[in-house]
Amino acid sequence: MPASLPNQNPPSTYPIDIRPETHTSPANQPPQKLYAEVVVNIPLQKVFHYRVPPHLQENLEAGMRVRIPFGNKITTGFCVGFTDTPCTDKTKDLISIIDKEPLIDDIMLKITRWLSSHYCCGWGEAISAVVPPVVRSRIKEKWNTFVRGNPHALAINQETLVQMKTRAPKQAKALEILLEHPDEISAKEVIRISGCKMPGLRQLEKKGFLTLENKLQDAANTPRNTDQLQQHLTLTQEQQKAFDTICKRLEGPKPGVLLLHGITGSGKTEIYLQSITKVLEQGRKAIYLVPEISLTPQTIQRIKARFHKVAVLHSSLLGTVHQSQWNDIKDGRVDIVIGARSSIFAPLKNVGLIIIDEEHENTYKQENNPRYNARDIAILRATRENAMVIMGTATPSLESYDQARKGNYEKIVLSRRIGERQLPPVDIVDMGEEVRKRRGFNIISQRLQYYMNQSLARKEQVILFLNRRGFAPYINCKRCGFVLKCQRCDIPMTFHKKLNTILCHYCHAETRPPESCPDCLASNINYRGFGTEKIEDEIRNKFPNYQIIRMDSDTMRVRDSHEKALTAFEQGEFQILLGTQMIAKGLDFPNVTLVGVISADTILNLPDFRAGERTFQLISQVAGRTGRGTKGGRVVVQSYNPRHYSITYAAAHDYEGFAGKELEYRKQLHYPPFGNLARIILRSPHEDKTKEKSALVAGKLKEIARTPGNHLEILGPSPAPVTRINNLFRWHILLKAQNNSSIHNALQGIADMLKPSKGVQTMVDVDPYMML
């Protein structure tokens, strides 16, 4: 659930006050630095006490890293406070102080403590999420190695690659990367994608396949834009009204949270930029969060064209650059930070505004420890810094919509596109009827093909969307029905034609396509379904005179490849853009007059209570990529379930209708926003142990749920929808309650059962977004 409002104290539903536990003397004086409270990066919510030697007391401050004896080893911890009364008589001494000044301030210490308790992770884990690894490791190297494929490597044939895959699969994958990206790329990038380390790359260099070159990495400070800045655009009447409301709140004592619900193309970004100007005039600073940094080059360019002292912060930056950017932010040389979810922890002082663009996106939720939601952390940080939060989207999450409906967030609606352009008409194609009429299955419907011909003939551009990569999502035998599944995971493997390989999209296992059925040995192997790679082949066959570019995680693996592809499309080098959800948001191409949704059913059929909401959001967002210019636009949505309300409401551009319908179902089942959830996943190589442990945990939870006054519902245990990943069997338990306190009390009651063990791994996900 969303965090507390900036104009309120943290609500009682939260399990703890977020002030750090620091002990004070009876006279209410701060404790002397006799004993330090230290946390370690482990999954335990425990603070350890260490005696501070006299020669370290003057220099040690909360937020610094320290070297400590921990068990039978020496490790690094974070000092989070001080006390005069240790929890044990047998305290050990700190060994040394690592940092000259604190890496995080008091506000971030409070936030990380709340994060630790709310998301059930160690306080040390939470702090480690705030301070990037490159900062903790203090990277000093200034040289990077780059790789360029030689002509011999580029001319390599498939047979040679197949042979290399058998004896040196990682080297083969490195060559595949060079085949796809003939330009010079970082060796770190090749290693990250292929797993082929430097010794392997050097062997390939000796064989003449590639060239390695060391280049000096510029680790200079964040560059200041010295070009003449662009002027702000003139706001429409609707935009001006929204901006006036924002300015009024910024000038008030409690700015609060504002939900900017604007249809696609209504000018939300311009309001963000002018709001940043207002904050800078007040002498404060801004954080601008985007769902995925690599997918928003247009937004970044617009911000840098308007402002000086802008830093882009994300985990894909090269080490020295990342460290330099972080230090510049911390030292006050930056006014605006742009980045993905982890940028909410940027060490920016005096924050006055936090913008969350496309606030509905599930990428704001972290899927490994600590499993935080950046939207909630943003609101919590704004509370502590008395800043304003603007959450903008064309399709608000139902949680945010409900908060606005209750009056907890102020809501502003932008209902008109810039220039009074109309939202594109949406045609829904019943693919079941299409099969009957054409007496067979066709990936591209007649209607979509007709409109593509029309747009391309007028020298306009087309975007095609399918949220499934690869060539064929599963392989089966026509004779016995055998389906080829990953040996380590309980899912079908996907055929990738260009690489001539079969991949598991969960554990990344790879194998060659079978020539016969592994079960009955028949040769009737059938490649079923379709992904973006197969669509690309189909489009090339149907439209041979036009250039197509594909954007998915297979083709966009190298750093900056997203920006290069989008720039090439914007400049007209390609007429057709095909991709997964990475093309569904943040793009503004006036020459795009047609968007085709190849299959609206890929998410709709998932076993997830948010499937309908995500389907509506994806269709609405991808439909918004067209009709932004004077030429207008059209959307064609193909579906085997054309009458599902999420599709029909999206086609009608009716968010209110969809929200009303979906909220009815959520209320009946007590799903968010009408309840809170937590999910416990248990994993082990042994299915019987996983099942046994999950039964014990669920049994204890049900015992707690029967306590009088405890409004808690326990679902499970049961096998997870994906029952095995990477040779680990998975069972899960779902907790449902009216408030967070009931869930956290229950989790506290089974804390001993959730501790790390060698037998069965236990993972807790509070406010889960992924239910697979």
Residue 212 reports pLDDT greater than 70: yes
* Average pLDDT of the residues in 589-603: 92
Sheet holding 510-511, edge to edge: 494-496, 501-503, 510-511
Torsion of CA 670, 672, 674, 679, to 10 degrees: 60
Residue 225 reports pLDDT greater than 60: no
Residue that is written with structure tokens 């991808």 in the block: 622
pLDDT digits (tens, 9 = 90+) for 619-669: 999 888 888 888 889 999 999 999 999 999 999 999 999 999 999 999 999
* Average pLDDT of the residues in 448-464: 96
Distances (CA, A) of 310 to 346, 426, 448, 465, 742: 13, 39, 42, 32, 43
As a whole-number percent, the residues of the chain with pLDDT over 70 amount to 91
Residue 25 reports pLDDT greater than 80: no
Report which residue type is found at 40.
V
Q: What is the pTM of this model?
A: 0.85
Q: Flag the least confident range among 320-329, 358-367, 635-644.
A: 320-329
* Average pLDDT of the residues in 423-442: 91
Residue 15 reports pLDDT greater than 50: no
* Average pLDDT of the residues in 428-441: 90
Residue 163 reports pLDDT greater than 80: no
Residue 220 reports pLDDT greater than 70: no
* Average pLDDT of the residues in 735-758: 89
* Average pLDDT of the residues in 138-159: 66
pLDDT score for 181:
74
Cis peptide before 673 (omega within 30 of 0): yes
Residue 288 reports pLDDT greater than 90: yes
Residue 725 reports pLDDT greater than 60: yes
Residue 64 reports pLDDT greater than 80: yes
pLDDT score for 484:
92
Q: Flag the least confident range among 212-216, 330-334, 460-464.
A: 212-216
Tokens of residue 103, six digits:
């890496």
pLDDT digits (tens, 9 = 90+) for 568-594: 998 999 999 999 888 877 678 889 999
pLDDT score for 59:
92
DSSP characters for 372-424?
-BHHHHHHHHHHHHT-EEEEEESS--HHHHHHHHTTSSEEEEE-S-GGGPPPP
pLDDT score for 48:
94
Q: Flag the least confident range among 116-120, 275-279, 324-328.
A: 324-328
pLDDT grade, residue 13 (50/70/90)? very low
Residue that is written with structure tokens 């907790």 in the block: 735
pLDDT grade, residue 20 (50/70/90)? very low
* Average pLDDT of the residues in 2-24: 37
